[in-house]
Chain A
Amino acid sequence: MKKHWLIGGVAGVFAMTGLAFVRVQDAQEMAAADSPESYASGQPIAFPHNTHAGTEPGQMGMDCQYCHFSAERSVDAGIPPVSLCVGCHQVIPGANLPEEVAKLMQYWNDKETIPWVRVYKTPDHAHYPHMRHIAAGIQCQQCHGEVQTMNVINQPDPAWGGTNMGWCIECHRTEGASDDCAVCHY
């Protein structure tokens, strides 16, 4: 009797390992881009998104696209040029984090660019046109999370799955957008 269990067990193990392999492979691909260590280094300036975009009292409640200026007309959302930050911070010393603003002014005076750590990145073989999604009424928060409530962003928001095709597809299907491969891959 024991023997039968043995046989069954062995067979089972083989089957499991087989399936496990492919699942792991698959999972790895999804995980590839947002492995935590990538972001260990942290942002050069502790930029508090909430202070700028937040709507709480004492927060500026700025529109995302004030800084990410090309989101509605380009595939890239755009990162604000240093000059844009300075535009305000010349007159606003920064009540909460003056030392961080000082860093900014340092970059500006050195005519240096700010080496922001890239947090959100879809694989290069998947094309994501920001303007089409904004035109379709998608809120930034749907992918990037409640940015206006976040302080320094060093990690992708749990809401984000931009390295996992299933995440894109699910939305495309529910929203009735095309799920033709060549819409994003070309």
Chain B
Amino acid sequence: MATATKERGALTHPDVQHLSDVNRDVLKALGRPGKGWWALLSLCMAGMGLFFAAWGWQIYRGIGVSGLMSPVGWGVYITTFVFWVGIAHSGTLISAILFLFRAPWRQSVYRIAEAMTVFAVMTAGLFPLIHVGRIWHAYWLVPYPNSRFLWPNFKSPLVWDVFAVTTYFTVSATFFFLGCIPDIAAARDAAKGLRKKLYSLISLGWRGTDSQWHHFGKAYIFLAALATPLVLSVHSVVSWDFAMSIVPGWHATIFAPYFVAGAIYSGVGMVITLAVPMRKIFGLEAYLTTKHFDALAKLCLLTSMIVLYAYLSEFFIAWYSGEEIERTAFWNRLFGTYWWATWTMLVCNGIVPIMLWFKRVRYSIPALFVISIFINIGMWFERYVIVVTSLHHEYEPWAWGIYRPSIYEVSILIGSFAWFGFWFLLFTRLLPPVAIAELKEVLPPPLRKQAKEAH
């Protein structure tokens, strides 16, 4: 009978004997936080302090505290915005698309991925606000009836961004929450005191009856179907911020698919970066097996190839177009002032992942961890290259200029990771990091009897 689940492509968890183990092992994560957790949290808090201090000063003093200048009007802020939006992608991809494609290996990782998605969007969403000159007027980008008879310019990709990002946040947050409900219920049963109250409130009275499971299943599929197109749309829209302009190096039709691939690539990379330590800290080796990482690694490999292809085609087309200005822009990317950024990007995103062709690498957790770090770095630099190198060397030779990020921009960049980490740490303590219910589904049937006893 075990074969049945096999056919469904689920990965077995040989070390798991009882369903009760699942509850125990997973919910153990929600127990008393250890020193390490507190240390990390306080680190993140400190980082957030830096983040808001820098931002506050920038609002008070003026956007001039950044290194931005003419001709480079966008820099680290937009780079980081795109970076986090990208990170946000894999979550929904893994949970929604893989769910629809019935790839049950996702079950162990999708909770982490989704959490990451939600928090990444929360982080990304801040950057458009951070980078505008008059944040106190930023709400003008929202269409609302006002005394001036004025609406935002729906032609402007920045307005599309507002919609894309907010929609994506709403849907992925709902999806995330919905998926959690059964597990929160499980946590509720295990928890006591205040936690119990909290869980019972947000588990929305889940009792695990068949009718509830039935509705849950329907709702889940429905939301998955709803979320899937967003994975593609959001980053396409973000890419249009660039593609819709006439800046050499931005104005390219390949941008949408190129960005989506890049986003998934960076997202999966980030999943690995986060999953590896969690697996260790919470002792989830039994649930996040090397097989799961192997699957993630393969996804990375695929997307990395797409991304590399995109890079190459960009250079090729620039040359093939015969457009002198276009050519100069890309030549300048490789050998201009910012050559180091470009080469970092190419090495991290194009060369390093080649190692993933080797099974041994895909199965070595440490190796994957290191590679995933490279991926994160590479993808940040990809955006930096697109934003900065294109702008600093445009049509008008006289107006060429060099942009140097300021300490404030760097602080806010670092701070954004702290802000993200802060929420993620809270998540690890408040919600089951692995989808208990779904795991149980894929455990071999023979265990079911015990399961009844256990439950």
| Complex contacts, A167 vs chain B, CB 8 Å | 147
| Complex contacts, A179 vs chain B, CB 8 Å | 149
CB distance from B162 to the nearest CB of A (A): 12
Report whether A165 and B205 are in contact in the complex, using a CB–CB cutoff of 8 Å: no
A3 in contact (CB, < 8 A): yes
In the assembled complex, the Cα of A26 lies from the Cα of B148 at a distance in Å of 9
| Complex contacts, B204 vs chain A, CB 8 Å | 3, 7
B101 in contact (CB, < 8 A): no
A19 in contact (CB, < 8 A): yes
Chain A, interface SS category: helix
| Complex contacts, A25 vs chain B, CB 8 Å | 136, 139
CB distance from A5 to the nearest CB of B (A): 12
| Complex contacts, B142 vs chain A, CB 8 Å | 22
B38 in contact (CB, < 8 A): no
Chain B, interface SS category: loop
B146 in contact (CB, < 8 A): yes
Report whether A164 and B147 are in contact in the complex, using a CB–CB cutoff of 8 Å: yes
Report whether A165 and B144 are in contact in the complex, using a CB–CB cutoff of 8 Å: no
List A residues 1-47 near B (Cβ within 8 Å).
3, 7, 19, 21-23, 25-26, 30
In the assembled complex, the Cα of A21 lies from the Cα of B144 at a distance in Å of 11
**Contact status of A166 and B148, CB under 8 A, knowing A21-B139, A22-B139, A22-B142:** yes
List A residues 127-180 near B (Cβ within 8 Å).
164-167, 169, 179
List B residues 149-164 near A (Cβ within 8 Å).
149
CB distance from A63 to the nearest CB of B (A): 33
CB distance from A184 to the nearest CB of B (A): 12
Report which residue of B136, B142, B146, B205 has the largest number of chain A beta carbons within 10 angstroms of its beta carbon.
B146
Report which residue of B139, B144, B147 has the largest number of chain A beta carbons within 10 angstroms of its beta carbon.
B147
Report whether B205 and A3 are in contact in the complex, using a CB–CB cutoff of 8 Å: yes
In the assembled complex, the Cα of A99 lies from the Cα of B98 at a distance in Å of 88
Report whether A166 and B147 are in contact in the complex, using a CB–CB cutoff of 8 Å: yes
| Complex contacts, B144 vs chain A, CB 8 Å | 19, 22-23
Q: Determine which of A3, A21, A22, A169 lies in contact with B149 in the assembled complex, contact meaning CB atoms within 8 Å.
A: A169
List B residues 123-153 near A (Cβ within 8 Å).
136, 139, 142, 144, 146-149
CB distance from B210 to the nearest CB of A (A): 19
Report whether A30 and B139 are in contact in the complex, using a CB–CB cutoff of 8 Å: no
Q: Determine which of B136, B139, B147 lies in contact with A165 in the assembled complex, contact meaning CB atoms within 8 Å.
A: B147
Closest to B204 in A: A3
In the assembled complex, the Cα of A3 lies from the Cα of B147 at a distance in Å of 38
| Complex contacts, B146 vs chain A, CB 8 Å | 22, 26, 166
Closest to A165 in B: B148
| Complex contacts, B136 vs chain A, CB 8 Å | 25
In the assembled complex, the Cα of A19 lies from the Cα of B136 at a distance in Å of 15
Closest to A169 in B: B149
Chain B window 75-98, contacts with chain A (Cβ cutoff 8 Å), 1 for yes, 0 for no = 000000000000000000000000
Minimum-distance CB pairs A-B, first 9: A166-B147, A165-B148, A22-B139, A22-B144, A26-B146, A3-B204, A169-B149, A164-B147, A166-B148
Give the interface of B toward A (CB within 8 A): 136, 139, 142, 144, 146-149, 204-205
List 19 interface pairs A-B (beta carbons < 8 Å), by A numbering: A3-B204, A3-B205, A7-B204, A19-B144, A21-B139, A22-B139, A22-B142, A22-B144, A25-B136, A25-B139, A26-B146, A26-B147, A164-B147, A165-B148, A166-B146, A166-B148, A166-B149, A167-B147, A169-B148
**13 other A-B residue contacts (CB within 8 Å) besides A7-B204, A21-B139:** A3-B205, A22-B142, A22-B146, A23-B144, A25-B136, A25-B139, A26-B146, A30-B147, A164-B147, A165-B148, A166-B149, A167-B147, A169-B149
